[in-house]
Amino acid sequence: MASMSTQKAFTPSSSSLSSSSSSTPRWKYDVFLSFYGEDTRKNFTDHLYATLKRKGINAYRDNENLEEGETIASGLMKAIEESHYAIIILSKNYAFSKWCLNELVKILECKKEKELIVRPIFYHVKPSDVGNQRETFGEAFLKHEDRKVSPEQMRKWRTALEEVSKIRGRHLLDSHESEDIQEITKSIFDELSHESSDDSEHLVGINSRVEEMMNLFSTMSDDVHFIGIWGMSGIGKTTLAYAIYNRICHQFEAHSFICDIRETVEKDKLGLVNLQKQLLSETLEVKEVNIWNHLEGIKVISKRLLNKKVLIVLDDVDKDEQLAALAGSPGWFGQGSRIIITSEDQHLLKKHHLGTIIHRVNELDNDEALELFSWIVFNQPYPKKEFEDLSNGLVEYAKRLPIALKVLGSSLIDRPRKVWEDYLHQLEEIYKGEILDELEISYRGLNEIQQNLFLDIACFFKGEDENRVANIEGVGSSNNMKTLNDKSLITILEGKLQMHDLVEEMAWRVVHRESSQEPGRRSRLWLCKDVFHVLKENTGTKFVEGMVLNSPPHDENLNDKAFSDMINLRLLKISNVHLPKGLNFLSNKLRMMEWHDYPLKSMPNSFQPDNLVELIMPRSHIGQLPEGFGNLAKLRLMDLSDSHNLVKTPNFIGCPDLQRLIFRGCKRLHDLPRKLNLESLEIFILSGCVRLKKFSEIGTNMTKLSELYLDGTALEELPLSIEHLTGLTLLSLQDCKNISCSTSINLPSLKTLNLSGC
């Protein structure tokens, strides 16, 4: 229990890393934790859970992972069914809980029926006492008899306890718990890693390369080493790096896999800073990293990682400045660190650091290409006899490129020979073997909804978080992403949406063909020249659904009717434009609106985007949002950082899904809603709102708010109703010089309290 009046130490909050996989996992959770809360929730179980998460193991405990609408009972049973391992922490009072005993019965059922792997921990109890119901376990059953529990139910519980007592587990009595937790975690991690290795046994040409790299690693000294993985686009550099990363990441204090660096930096002027934030967030295990420019990021990385043994993968690097910003020197990292860099540019790798060891990823030879294709299509190392000729023809068209082999092969699984012949005929007659055309065949096999999602990802969301994109795209998107992943049109890597360069180029060509001469009649616009042509010439039409203008080379003036005919615009990301005559229209179908430096003080009068999911408008000139923006039922994120004219916010009474509110640096903001009742809100940032003197009253349902940043505000006190924030783990009041902490406020989940400068 944390009390604001006494706790002044600043401690970093912990963050967990989700289980990572490049394909759809068989289980939703790696580990289900069964425990009696009053015995171990705040000590052993909490430490075990945190350690599992830090190692990237997706652990489930209690009802914190339950999806909206699930009851506790059904949610727990479902979670057990969807778990690969179950760790049962059998403590002294475990058997007093009906919930625990019912969980145990279900776990053992799943052990038999679903191959659930069970790992019991006898926590200060003897296995024989558990199995024979002696000591506290016997007392518990006497209690259940008094409560008139049915004999049949009692029999099930006794049988389950007897069975679990015979399973080989870990007996904790007078040992050091921290060591036990490390050993338990390592055991689970090693088994999961071994399974991951087994799952990848059919990655032809990869395993031999991984072993080659492992041999190389084994000969290295304990100094910091840079390793470059070099080869052409689509040849398997990222796959190799990821396989190595999975194999050895548990050997390091911290690890981070930074994907698709080139694309991220090209698309976003703050891309390099965001990558630095990701690197620090993952290696330091913190959520919020404040970096304002890449030079500051360099200082922070080189200082904070100096004494950490880290494994870092920098994927798809193509510029010196990217390496300089993310891994400028071996001196940045602790002894024994390994920095793996993938790139198409061998010269870049050589000149960055003289000691960089470079491994070239060579093309598959014909036999390897045919074997890989055969594993994909036939689940065996060679083609079926009746498909030999057709398989060889398709492998030839794929140019031995692994990504092309996967895309082509995934479309032919379990298809009859006639379909193969038609497929090959299409390639010969229409596409002339060009790889872009080959990739497009898989695109044409998608339904219309999947095609639209695929084009959105290719044009706007490559490298983005899959959950964020699913929210923006709407109902059914998660399943459709899995379909795209299964067809190798995208890859979901550590929760990020990735796409091969050639597949992306194919998607761009599909959009360009919609109207080769007039960009305003295409569904998606992402090139500066096309966007400016449409906006300046007023050639936008009802066909335009998405528009992104990233870092234009210079500011542009637009007229007030620039968006008037784009009535179906769903996705908008834009910056560096001026509207000297105002703006008379924005589409009410917008689901994502990201407008940096919005130049006007208000929105168009007719603008009421009821489907809006994200509103991101840093450095806008907005003075006050329309009151209707407090009733956007689908809104999840509102970010008006550094909007210096903003004086008040909507009341948000109609925003049940709102998860993040960011008003950082809104210097004139002085008026918040009288009361907040945002049941989904998780993060609220008001740092730098120097005129804000009074904070809203807090409703009783705001239990999900975990982080509240009030740094540098003029707040004089916090309302007593802040105690309703029972899930708050971080509260920052840095430089709140007027704040009074005379009243003790209990925040039971608080881990980090920053009162520096108060």
If one counts every other C-beta atom within 10 angstroms of the C-beta of residue 284, the result is 17
Q: Residue 200 phi/psi, 5° resolution?
A: -95, 15
Q: What one-character-per-residue DSSP string does 704-743 give?
A: T--EEE-TT-------GGGGG-TT--EEE-TT-TT----S
Token pair of 194, please? 């071994």
State the Cα–Cα distance between residues 720 and 744, nearest whole angstrom: 9
State the Cα–Cα distance between residues 661 and 356, nearest whole angstrom: 44
Q: Residue 595 phi/psi, 5° resolution?
A: -125, 100
Active-site option among 67, 81, 82, 103:
103
Contact 231, 224 (CB under 8 A): no
- In Å, what is the CA distance from 63 to each residue of 75, 79, 113, 204, 627? 7, 9, 24, 41, 36
Secondary structure tally for the chain: helices H, strands E: 25, 29
State the Cα–Cα distance between residues 371 and 368, nearest whole angstrom: 5
State the Cα–Cα distance between residues 283 and 267, nearest whole angstrom: 25
DSSP 17: P
Query: CA triplet 310, 316, 319: central angle to 5 degrees?
Result: 95
DSSP 550: -
**Chain centroid to CA 236: how far?**
22
Torsion of CA 438, 439, 440, 441, to 10 degrees: 60
State the Cα–Cα distance between residues 13 and 729, nearest whole angstrom: 8
Q: Residue 31 phi/psi, 5° resolution?
A: -140, 135
State the Cα–Cα distance between residues 439 and 443, nearest whole angstrom: 7
Contact 583, 563 (CB under 8 A): yes
SS3 of 136, please? helix
Token pair of 328, please? 């400028």
Torsion of CA 620, 625, 631, 633, to 10 degrees: -10
Residue 630's Cβ-side half-sphere holds a number of Cα atoms within 13 Å equal to 16
What's the Rg (C-alpha) of the chain? 28
DSSP 606: T
195 Cβ contact partners less than 8 Å away, ≥ 6 residues apart: none
**337, amino acid identity:** S
3-state helix, strand, coil in the chain (%, to 5): 40, 15, 45
Active site residue 103: yes
Residues identified as active-site: 103
